[in-house]
Structure 1
Amino acid sequence: MSRLRVGLMDPVMAARPTADAFSRANYLSAVAGRVDSYWVPDHINGQTPRPLWDPKYTAAARILQSPDAAMEAWTLLGSLAARRRFNRISLGIGVTDTGKRHPAVTAQAAATLNLLTRGRAVLGIGPGERVGNEPYGVDWSKPVARFEEALATIRALWESKGQVVNRDSPFFPLRNAIFDLPPYRGRWPKIWVAAHGPRMLRATGRHGDGWFPGFAHRPQDYVQRLEVIRSAASDVGRDPMSITPAFWIPVFAGSSRAAVDEGLDTTVVKAWCLNAPAEFFAHQGASHPLGEDCTGMQDHSNFTMDEAGVHSAAARVPLSVVKAMMLTGTVDDVLEQAAVWRDHGVRHLVVVNFGAMQPKLRKGLGTMLPFSKVLRGLRRL
């Protein structure tokens, strides 16, 4: 069995005293931890209810300006690439959105980053979420169909060898389009797809170089969906084992199980768990506070909830759901849980320290050392 590769996700929220201070510190910790990849999400806004962005609810409010002050991902990665061109860490978007961003622009951005990083760029891509599209005037009626066409458009441009491209598409028709950026030493960025549903899983098998889902999965769901991807790859003559099985999951580590459970049992952490769909709650024997038809992060806009509403909803999130969405506990606990994901097929695990979300700053900062030990331990799995 090959070594588990490890990535670090950065929330890319504007910080204090300088906007990129937190991201630069995270990147340096990634380098020090000798991880394999460093990732940034591509959002305009966040997923934390605005009334909870207050020091009385979360220590993160003392460090980051706003839950919705998301910095532009490609610009940030370009800055990191320009300053540190010779590092070995791959830089990835986790993930970009095919709704609000035209695929020709995405193809150009990813190809540019690949040149700047000497072949270390990874294009994470998915259909996006309603909250990042509809409020800004982007049609959200056919996100998966739009995604499929966006992915085909990116491939068509990359493979055009500088020749004129004409391509019919209901979303992104190309008429005498030119794309002449070169690949780095003949290699384009790897495309990792954030797929969850059956149609997206099959598209990953047909076109993706990696599968990069996040919450909410169970290990048994992951292995079943990986088989769908590999079957789709085989159907079109691709090597199914060439697709990297990756996974993104938060980590909440501490010095003791009791200290971690105290941090998990807070309004802001439980409110974040509203991003899981009702199906995931049902797997834990619970009902989703926002209703049985809630699709979670894909469709709801929890940042518009008022303080009373979010308190009421968060109070009905059981601790079993919270723990199922993260790797939690002592360093040994977290590594033991990560090994389960490895045993269910994950080969590249991308994590983020969720400890700073708890209310007390001292305890939030106290999770940094256990988290750094987790990073080192994951590399030995």
Structure 2
Amino acid sequence: MSGFRVGIMDPAIASRPRVDSFTRASYLSAVACGVDSFWVPDHLNALFPRTLWQPKFAAGAKVLPSADAYLEPWTMLGNLAARNRMARLRLGVSVTDTGRRNPAVTAQAAATMNLLTRGRFILGIGTGEREGNEPYGVEWSRPVARFEEAMATIRALWDSKGELVNRDSPYFPLRNAIFDLPAYRGKWPPIWIAAHGPRMLRAVGRYADGYFPAFPHTPQEYAQRLDALRSAASDAGRDPMAITPALWVMVVPGRSSDEVDEALDSAVARAGGLLASDEFYARHGAEHPLGVGFTGAQDILPQDWDEQTALSYIKKVPMSVLREMYLCGTTDEIIDRAIQWRDYGVRHLVVANIGPLQRHLRKGLLSTVLFGRAVRKLKKL
């Protein structure tokens, strides 16, 4: 893939006055900024302590009544596809879950979206997180093994050409299964995998058209993982350079360093710091507030914390961790940091603005203006 592409990630959380008011505004902003892709997440609830979702902590709580009120992504994608005829943005899910969703259903949904968008859909997919599985009765002891079997199942169905499919699997056995939806002009939607560990990187090399990590890490780590997955692709007889190097990152914009620090010190931004791993904290001479060896976003279960418990955790998050994990700063500083990611291999950067979730509504609204400026500059890289 040549050039540098930019996408915008929408939270897809129920808002006011219409349930999709925020998503509509986000989509129109993406069109106005001329981005290449627009994304929605696949969550049942937030990776965020619900007791901190109050106006005294986050101005966004005034327009988004609940941080856990995620709209169902595939329904939302169909809605977006209907209004995307003129803008022709690529639409994507970032990322759907192989724990909660049977891969045959995911294969069907993705193929349908690819037909509706005339080949402009991207299937972002990963293991999911504990918070979206375990509370709902989905077994979580071997998420990577389940993921690998899900990927093999999706590919088997897409490659079946309408013939009966039989496949042994400990998770998703197929017995005379039929999949007869057509590919759009002979092509299935590209699969972008959210991967971090060695085994998941090998899965990217075997199955993926794009590499799409999100958990906090450094540009240097990104480059090392990109090399590893490309080696895996070569071992699998695939073209390693055909895999799109992408990245999802949260943005905290401000007019000055003081303004950025104020936004980073908000409850939402600090709670986001809990999604980094203990290994990430160790580089800053600190221990993760949830203990040594805590893996971060993959295993966090914050929904039953009371307010004081949540506050006690986020107060232990060092500002240096927040500055590194977020793409934060003035517009020029954001661009400089994005250039670093580009220089380490990223070719499609998907950004999400969390500036509106800081304490003060006026500064939160201003962040949307600064975010738009940054996105337009990113498009010129």
Q: In structure 1, what is the Cα distance between the partners aligned to 2:87 and 2:110? A: 18
Q: TM-score, normalised by structure 2?
A: 0.98
Q: Give the equivalent residue in structure 1 for 2:213.
A: 213
Q: In structure 2, what is the Cα distance between the partners aligned to 1:122 and 1:312? A: 39
Q: In structure 2, what is the Cα distance between the partners aligned to 1:83 and 1:331? A: 30
Query: Any conservation in 1 of the 2:215–2:297 contact (CA below 8 Å)?
Result: no
Q: In structure 2, what is the Cα distance between the partners aligned to 1:9 and 1:90? A: 12
Amino acid at match of 1:257: S
Paired positions, count: 381
Q: Give the equivalent residue in structure 1 for 2:5.
A: 5
> Secondary structure of the equivalent of 2:268?
helix
Q: Give the equivalent residue in structure 2 for 1:318.
A: 318
Q: In structure 2, what is the Cα distance between the partners aligned to 1:183 and 1:268? A: 41
Give the drift of 1:267: 2.5
> Secondary structure of the equivalent of 2:187?
coil
Query: Deviations 1:286-329 (Å, cap 9, x if unpaired)?
Result: 11111012111101212221111111111111110001111111
Query: Any conservation in 2 of the 1:13–1:65 contact (CA below 8 Å)?
Result: no
Amino acid at match of 2:48: T
- Dislocated runs of 4+, deviation >4 Å: none
Query: Deviations 1:7-52 (Å, cap 9, x if unpaired)?
Result: 0000110000111110011011111111000011101001121111
Q: Give the equivalent residue in structure 2 for 1:122.
A: 122
RMSD: 1.0
Amino acid at match of 1:380: K
Query: Deviations 1:145-184 (Å, cap 9, x if unpaired)?
Result: 0000000000010111111111110000000100000000
Q: Give the equivalent residue in structure 1 for 2:353.
A: 353
Q: Give the equivalent residue in structure 1 for 2:380.
A: 380
Long gaps (5+) in structure 1: none
Q: In structure 1, what is the Cα distance between the partners aligned to 2:18 and 2:32? A: 22
Amino acid at match of 2:40: V
Amino acid at match of 1:16: R
Q: Give the equivalent residue in structure 2 for 1:295.
A: 295
Q: In structure 2, what is the Cα distance between the partners aligned to 1:230 and 1:240? A: 5
Q: Give the equivalent residue in structure 1 for 2:46.
A: 46
Q: In structure 2, what is the Cα distance between the partners aligned to 1:158 and 1:2? A: 27
Q: Give the equivalent residue in structure 1 for 2:337.
A: 337
Identity between Structure 1 and Structure 2 (%): 62
Long gaps (5+) in structure 2: none
Query: Any conservation in 2 of the 1:274–1:314 contact (CA below 8 Å)?
Result: yes
Q: Give the equivalent residue in structure 2 for 1:30.
A: 30
Q: Give the equivalent residue in structure 2 for 1:230.
A: 230
Q: In structure 2, what is the Cα distance between the partners aligned to 1:208 and 1:152? A: 11
Q: Give the equivalent residue in structure 1 for 2:175.
A: 175
Amino acid at match of 1:118: R
Q: Give the equivalent residue in structure 2 for 1:90.
A: 90
Amino acid at match of 2:276: A
